[in-house]
Structure formats: C-alpha cells, structure tokens
Structure 1
Amino acid sequence: MPTLPREPRRQPEAAMPHRARRTAESFGRDAQRYDRARPAYPDDLVARIVAGSPGPDVLDVGCGTGIAARQFQAADCSVLGVEPDARMAGLAESRGLRVEVATFEAWEPTGRVFDTVIAAQSWHWVDPAAGSAKAARLLRPNGRLAIFGHVFEPPAEVAEPFAEAYRRVAPESPFAGQPARRPLETYRAGYARIADTVRGTGRFDEPEQWRFDRQRSCTRDQWLDLLATTGGLTSLRPDQSTRILDVVGDAVDALGGRFTMHCTTLATTAVRTDRP
C-alpha cells in the first residue's frame, strides 16, 4: 500500500529565532529598563567600523532604544534606525534618533543607500539569508556590513541558580532546556554561520571575525536589571520573571552583592564589493 510522505521536521524556535516573533517583539515591555540596563559596545569596535566605511551614512537594523546608534552618532555618523517594536522606537526617537517602524525584511528603503549597515544584538531576529541579501542591496560599493553582539559569562554561582530556577518556574519555555553556561565557542559558531550567509550572497569580500574582551563588574541590581531585559524573561509572565530574579538576587547576595564577569563582544563584518 502507498505510504504518505513524511512531513518535514519542524526546526525549534531556538534554531531559527527570527521566527519567534513573540519573543522578538517582547523587549519593548519595559523599554526604559532595556535602555538603562543594556551595556554600550566597545569604543574600539565602533571606531574600527567607522574607519573602515566609505562615508557617514549608517542604517541600524533592529535599533531597539538606540544604544549602538547613539555611539555612532557620537562618532559623527548620520544614523537611521529600523525597529519593529514601536515602544522601543519611540524611546529611541525621544533621544534624537530617526526611526522607521518595520521589520528589516518588510522595510522599504525607497531608493536610499548607506555606507554602513549595522545590527547590534539584533541580527538573530532577522531571516539570515534574506537579511544578508537585502543589506548588500542597501550598501554603496565598498560599504560595510557589521553584525555584532555581547556574550556575558557570569560565574557558575550565579548562572546555575538562574538555570535551575528557570527550569522549575517555566518548564514549558523553549529556553528552559538551555545549559546554565554556554561555551563561548557556541556563540563564535553562530557568528561563523552568519559569515556563511554573507559569503553566500556573492556580494561581499571575505567576511572577517572580530573579538573584543573586557571584564565587567556587576552589582546585584545591575545584573537583575540586565537579566530582566533578555528574551528568556521578557517572554514570561511577570510573576514568573519575579520568582526567577528573586533566586538570582539571593545568589548574588551570597557573593557579597556583586561579582565580576567576562564580557566578549563578537562581530562578523564584510565589505560590499565594488562590482555591480
């Protein structure tokens, strides 16, 4: 008797985060806290991107509240943000950034082109193949695409209580199965995959991988503020987030109310070829 073809296996949202729109658009729940808690990017990174770009016109994809955009403005760039969450966009606009509300895939450039396209902690919410191809179309010849983000490595005494509390409080969440601490190599592999999609457009020179390392001291309140703005918590009910943060707060208190962690900023960057 004939057999039915198998349905293609559905990829989990963790493997294709750009499809997880509920999480992607949850950060505006507390835009003020997001803007306050999320750290800026290394000055050396910004300076290197600006120095390697042919001009001052920057498009910030998924600009959020404008944290990276303000750094580029301070470096004498003219920045336009594209942001799907109107709440985040509104705060960015209140601080002097021009923002158009749309997902990057749906956004209409209406003939505009740029010297630099950046995505700060946001490219995983963009369809990777479509995003790379669109960035190539938006860049002037020799323009630069720069995709970057932070990796925080809190000590095990903080990370493990968080993971255990998350599994207990929100076992149904797709984030519940993640390990307490993911190796830096996991993130580096993600940026290597970004380089593959950029390379696959045939419109860029060979992508480069950049890395910036620093130590960051966090108080209890600073760490809880930052954690509360991450996708694993913004997508939960407020009571669930509070229970998890209470556990983490106790863990930081046990360390004397603060800790030092390693922070790595990774980047994939490539220059658009001058070929048409």
Structure 2
Amino acid sequence: MPTISPEPERAPVGEVHQQRAVARSFGVDATRYDRARPRYPDALVHRILDLVAAAGPPRVLDVGCGTGIVARQFLDAGCDVLGVEPDPRMADLARRSKITVEEAAFEDWDPAGRTYDAVVAGQAWHWVDPVAGAARAARALRPGGLLAPFWNAFELPPDLADAVTEVCRRALPDAPFDVRALGRGTADGYGTLLSGAVDGIRATGAFEEPQQWRHDWELTYTCDAWLDQLPTQGAFTRLPAPALAAVLEGVGAAVDARGGRFTMRYATVAVTARARSDG
C-alpha cells in the first residue's frame, strides 16, 4: 500500500461539512446504501490496526458509522467498536448488525471519559468540521492513539465516463454542480478531502504530523449493481424521481452498450495521525 504525496492537489469544493441537507440525505434509503456501497480493502483495516498495536482487542470509534459498513469490518478483525452517527435511520440499520451506536453529530458527541485506540471514519470525515472534529477525536484517543479518516475514490472507464457525463448533462440541465464530475468519478478530487483533513488535524496541535497513503484496487460491476449504487451518491440522493429515473435509464443504456458490465478502478485514500503522548 504505497504512501501518497504529502501535498495533494487541491480543488475548491467549499465548506462541504456545512452541507447538512446532503449529509443527512443518505438515510433516505439506508438499506440500499448498506447493500450497494463498496466495502474497504482488508489491507486498510490491517494497516490501521498494525499502527495501533493495541495490547488487547483494539477499541475503535467509528465516526459517521452510517449503516455499519466500516464497523463490521473492524468487528470482524477482532475489535471492540462504537459507532457515532447523526442519522437515526442509518443508526437503526447498523444496530441490526449488533453494532453499538450513539446518535450524535461527532462535533457534539461526548466521550464521557472513554478512550479509544483508534478513531476511524469511512467516507464520512468531510461531513465533520475538520478542526472541531479533529479536536473531538483527540479527546477520545488514548495517548499515541490513531486518527484515521479514509475514502473510496472511484474512476470510471474513460468511454463510460464520457457517456455518463452526457447522460447527466441531458437529464440535469439545471444541476447546481458540474455534471462532468459525475462522469469523471471521485478519484480526481481525493486530494481536496485529504488536504482538508490534514489542515484540520494540524490546527489542533494535538497530533503528530499526519501521514497520507492510498491503496489501489478494482471491482467489476454488472449494470444492475451499478444502478443500485448510483442513487446512494450525494449528487443523486435528493433528485426528484423523474430526473433520477432519466439518469438511471441513460447510464443503464451506456453500461449495456459495453456488454452489461465494467471494471471500476478504486483508490482507497487515507490520512493517519497519532495523538501526541506529551500532552
């Protein structure tokens, strides 16, 4: 799992964590979200736990745990996991998988004297105030504990990316965002997420210098599997039904035109920072 450049390219996205309506929209169909969203490489989980090097079962706090995708992976690795999730619909589904969840925005969550070996966040840290969130994580970590936010960034095959861009341009002529980004995927924008996390961590003065790394992998989607995931993405969760139907019809036709399946390139990108042990 290679380390990535310490100064990734920045791209202006505004204060993403303030877009609360988008952040709270993923619970509209929590079951679909849990079913369709990709998991994270086992190498990611093992690298985090290797860095933690806990004496007993690692105590892990999962920020923005959603339906429990990340929490289950750490549970399967032998950890004790607590999730923090502001959306009761997502939290309820996580609890059905026997995950303990406390409902709160992480900036407002009270650790109540509890400490953890690792604070992790999968596909969620950009919805948290980067400075207030890092400061809250520092309160919850034992000295030397690890903060590790991470994301799955995807890149569509170029021909399919062009087709998706054209579909979204036709279906969403008044979209308040650049529809070209929907075709490109998220791989080009990961530097922004990492930069925001790094800046927030540094601002607290509570952590050692953050490290950044990535793990590249691939996943083959059938047309049905990709159309199942597409409505769980933030650009589509609040679309009116007719607009979403037009997007799904057009994207489905584009995938069918290339044989009904395609291989997606993913990069799981992460920031890790160790809580200072010198107070």
What's the TM-score once normalised by structure 2's chain length? 0.89
Unmatched 5+ stretches in structure 1: 1-12
The Cα of 1:176 is off from its aligned counterpart by 4.0
Tell me how large the CA RMSD over aligned residues is. 1.7
Q: Matched residue pairs, number?
A: 264
Give me the whole-angstrom Cα distance separating, in 2, the residues matched to 1:135 and 1:169.
Answer: 41
Separation of aligned partners in 1, 2:219 and 2:267: 10
User: Which letter does structure 1 place at the counterpart of 2:119?
Assistant: V
Describe the shift of the 1:185–1:120 C-alpha distance in structure 2 as closer, same or farther (beyond 3 A).
same
Is 2:255 aligned against 1:252? Answer: yes
Task: Give the 3-state SS of the residue equivalent to 2:90 in structure 1.
Answer: helix
Q: 2:228 pairs with 225, 233, 245, which one?
A: 225
Name the SS of the counterpart of 1:175 in structure 2: coil
Q: Is the 8 A contact 1:163 1:176 kept in 2?
A: no
Of 244-253 and 210-219, the range deviating more from structure 2: 210-219
Q: 2:19 aligned with 1:20, yes or no?
A: yes
Name 1:165's counterpart in structure 2.
167
How far is 1:156 from its partner?
Answer: 2.5
Distance 2:184 2:88 in 1: 32
Residues 97-132 of structure 1, C-alpha deviations (whole Å, 9 max, x = no match) = 001111111222222221110010001101111111
CA contact (8 A) 2:85 2:104 kept: yes
Residue correspondence of structure 1 range 76-91 to structure 2 within 5 A: 76-91=78-93
Aligned to 2:239, what secondary structure does the other structure show?
A: coil
Which one is further off, 216-225 or 173-182? 173-182
Alignment deviations for residues 110-158 of structure 1 (CA, whole Å, 9 cap, x no partner):
2222111001000110111111111111111000000101111111332
1:49 equivalent in alignment to 2:48:
yes
State the match for 2:202 in structure 1: 199
Residues 199-227 of structure 1, C-alpha deviation per residue, up to 9 Å, x if partnerless? Answer: 22111111111110012111101111111
Deviations 1:26-53 (CA, angstroms, capped at 9, x unpaired) = 1111111111111111101101111211
Contact 1:167–1:177 under 8 Å retained in 2: yes
CA displacement at 1:84 relative to structure 2: 1.0
8 Å contact 1:217–1:259 — kept in the other structure? yes
Q: Please list every run of at least 4 consecutive aligned residues from structure 1 whose deviation after the TM superposition is greater than 4 angstroms.
A: none
Report the alpha carbon displacement of residue 194 of structure 1 after superposing the two structures with TM: 1.5
Superposition TM-score, scaled by structure 1 size: 0.90
Higher CA-based Rg: 1
Supply the distance in 2 between the matched residues of 1:174 and 1:33 (Cα, whole angstroms).
25
| TM-superposed deviation, 1:177 | 4.6
Partner of residue 275, structure 1? 278
Q: Tell me, yes or no, if the aligned pair for 2:116 and 2:140 is still in contact at 8 Å.
A: yes
Q: Secondary structure at the match of 1:130?
A: helix
The answer on whether the counterparts of 1:73 and 1:79 sit within 8 Å (CA) in structure 2 is yes
**Unaligned 5+ runs, structure 2:** 1-11
Matched with 2:143 is 141
Q: Is the 8 A contact 2:119 2:148 kept in 1?
A: yes
Cα deviation code 1:63-118 (max 9, x no counterpart):
01000100000111111101111111101000110011111112222222211100
